[in-house]
Amino acid sequence: MTRAANSNESVSEVSTKLPAPVFHDPKHHIKIYQGDCLEILAALPESCIDVIFADPPYFLSNGGITCHAGKMVSVNKGAWDKLPGPDLGPVRARFDKVHEFNTAWLAACQRVLKPDGSIWVSGTSHVIHSVGFAMQQLGFKLLNDISWVKPNPPPNLSCRYFTHATETIIWAARDKKSRHKFNYKLMKQTNAGRQMKSVWEILPPAAEEKRFGKHPAQKPLALIERILLASSNEGDLVLDPFLGSGTVLIAALRVHRRVAGCELELESLSLSLRRICSELVQVDISVACLQFSLDLFPDPMDRSNSTNMSGPISAKLVRRERNYYFVGSSRREVIYSAPADSLEEAWAKFTVSSQSGIEVIFIIKTETEIYLNDGT
Ligand SMILES: C[S@@+](CC[C@H](N)C(=O)[O-])C[C@H]1O[C@@H](n2cnc3c(N)ncnc32)[C@H](O)[C@@H]1O
């Protein structure tokens, strides 16, 4: 962000050479670029993207305080969230600079969207009003502003405001003539047969989604999956210019969309890579090693709504097994697998196997329980 917001270059003046992706999986159609999104977007061809999800910097890292897990902590999220350059003094100059940045990247997104493509932008009050205004100035067609409600927001320490319990996500089509995609029936079906409202109550990312590291602005997978399911179809091309921890990559893979994204900071980029590699290994194991799929979500569905769950079932456990899969570090595939009760036992089996000389990068444990539905 730093370079982009500091720069006076217009989108058309920046280099138009697309760098080599730092990660490319042609089989699953995933591309990750490292760099400033203004430069990457300028190098993409016009009208090639079906849907964009963007979660730009909030510019709220101003030394203030907030509450996290019951403790008073700094609001500072990292260098990427600070307005670069010297203190601009007057408030007006600061907001002009933020607005200039938002206008630049939104214009770049508009250029790469297909005529009927749409864009979703999430943000807190620090930035979302500038985003909405820039969209109006650029001629996007505003479709909805979604209120993402967080059920357990942190308390407000100053006791001078309501607790901040929502984030806004603006959904807009490329321009006034766009005939944007909206999978109305699917959204209604996942909302227990009622039209879905623009107020979405979705939990923040669970610990399981943060097991490869934390990003201060990580979005829940359920939120992004709903967005992609609502506004795109299988095989469509999704873009995220501000990847952060790579949530959009994983959501797109799960709902069978092609995806590309970029990120400026190395730390976030490596978190994205860890998350997507783990997801891909799981997909490959389910395809290559087992006779049945381990993919729990083979059909794209909206998992954010617990009303999808049907009532209690009666089932008998008929089989339980624990397996360990060893993934090689040069060829990222399963080189050895064994049933075992513990990692130590699995490792002992691996060391006496014919594969023991190969360097291992991941060991994945799976626990399978098969239940027989007795139909009551
Ligand atoms: C709000 S976070 C995105 C979080 C993400 N949605 C997730 O679920 O993890 C914004 C990210 O954009 C990155 N960023 C900021 N400016 C950028 C720029 N000009 N080009 C590319 N990435 C940028 C930051 O490093 C940060 O990781």
User: Three-state secondary structure along 66-79?
Assistant: EEECCEEEECCCCH
Looking at the structure, do residues 123 and 201 belong to the same domain, yes or no? yes
Q: Is residue 354 part of a domain?
A: yes
Predicted pLDDT at 252: 97
The tens digit of pLDDT for each residue in 4-16 reads: 343 333 333 344 6
Q: Is residue 296 part of a domain?
A: no
pLDDT at 127 over 80: yes
Q: What is the position in ligand 1's atom list of the atom closest to the CA of 219?
A: 8
Q: Is residue 333 part of a domain?
A: yes
Give residues (CB < 6 A) around ligand 1.
1, 4, 36-37, 55, 57, 80, 215, 217-219, 241-242, 244-245, 247, 262-265, 268
Q: Is residue 206 part of a domain?
A: yes
pLDDT at 123 over 90: yes
Asked if residues 232 and 119 have their Cβ atoms less than 8 Å apart, the reply is no
Predicted pLDDT at 175: 98
Q: How many structural domains is the chain composed of?
A: 2
Apex 137 CA angle, 131 and 140, nearest 5: 75
Higher pLDDT, 253 or 317: 253
188: phi then psi, degrees, rounded to nearest 5: -65, -45
93: phi then psi, degrees, rounded to nearest 5: -65, -40
Q: Is residue 276 part of a domain?
A: yes
Average pLDDT of span 173-181? 98
Average pLDDT of span 287-296? 47
Beta strand 49-54 with 113-123: parallel, antiparallel or unpaired?
parallel
Domain span at 50: 2-283
Looking at the structure, do residues 263 and 350 belong to the same domain, yes or no? no
- Rg of the chain, C-alpha, whole Å: 23
Instruction: Give bridge partners of residue 362 from the DSSP assignment.
Output: 327
Looking at the structure, do residues 365 and 254 belong to the same domain, yes or no? no
CA 248, CA 53: separation in Å to the nearest integer?
Answer: 8
Looking at the structure, do residues 134 and 228 belong to the same domain, yes or no? yes
User: What is the chain's mean pLDDT, rounded?
Assistant: 84
For position 151, which CATH number holds?
3.40.50.150
Looking at the structure, do residues 13 and 58 belong to the same domain, yes or no? yes
Give the Å distance between the CA of 117 and the centre of ligand 1: 22
Looking at the structure, do residues 127 and 230 belong to the same domain, yes or no? yes
Which of these three, 248, 283, 318, is where a domain ends? 283
Q: Which residues contact 314 (CB under 8 A, 6 or more apart)?
A: 373, 374, 375, 376
- In this structure, which residue's CA is closest to atom 17 in ligand 1? 1
- In this structure, which residue's CA is closest to atom 16 in ligand 1? 1
Predicted pLDDT at 15: 46
Higher pLDDT, 106 or 324: 106
Give the Å distance between the CA of 208 and the centre of ligand 1: 21
Instruction: Give the position of tokens 């594969």.
Output: 355
Higher pLDDT, 375 or 44: 44
Q: Is residue 288 part of a domain?
A: no
Looking at the structure, do residues 215 and 334 belong to the same domain, yes or no? no
Looking at the structure, do residues 127 and 204 belong to the same domain, yes or no? yes
Looking at the structure, do residues 62 and 209 belong to the same domain, yes or no? yes
DSSP E strands, 35-140: 49-54, 65-68, 71-74, 113-123
Looking at the structure, do residues 213 and 255 belong to the same domain, yes or no? yes
Looking at the structure, do residues 277 and 315 belong to the same domain, yes or no? no
Q: Is residue 225 part of a domain?
A: yes
Which of these three, 241, 264, 283, is where a domain ends? 283
Q: Is the pTM of this model over 0.85?
A: no
CA 67, CA 106: separation in Å to the nearest integer?
Answer: 32
Predicted pLDDT at 295: 47
User: pLDDT band at residue 54, thresholds of 50, 70 and 90?
Assistant: very high
Q: Is residue 43 part of a domain?
A: yes
Higher pLDDT, 339 or 174: 174
Looking at the structure, do residues 66 and 215 belong to the same domain, yes or no? yes
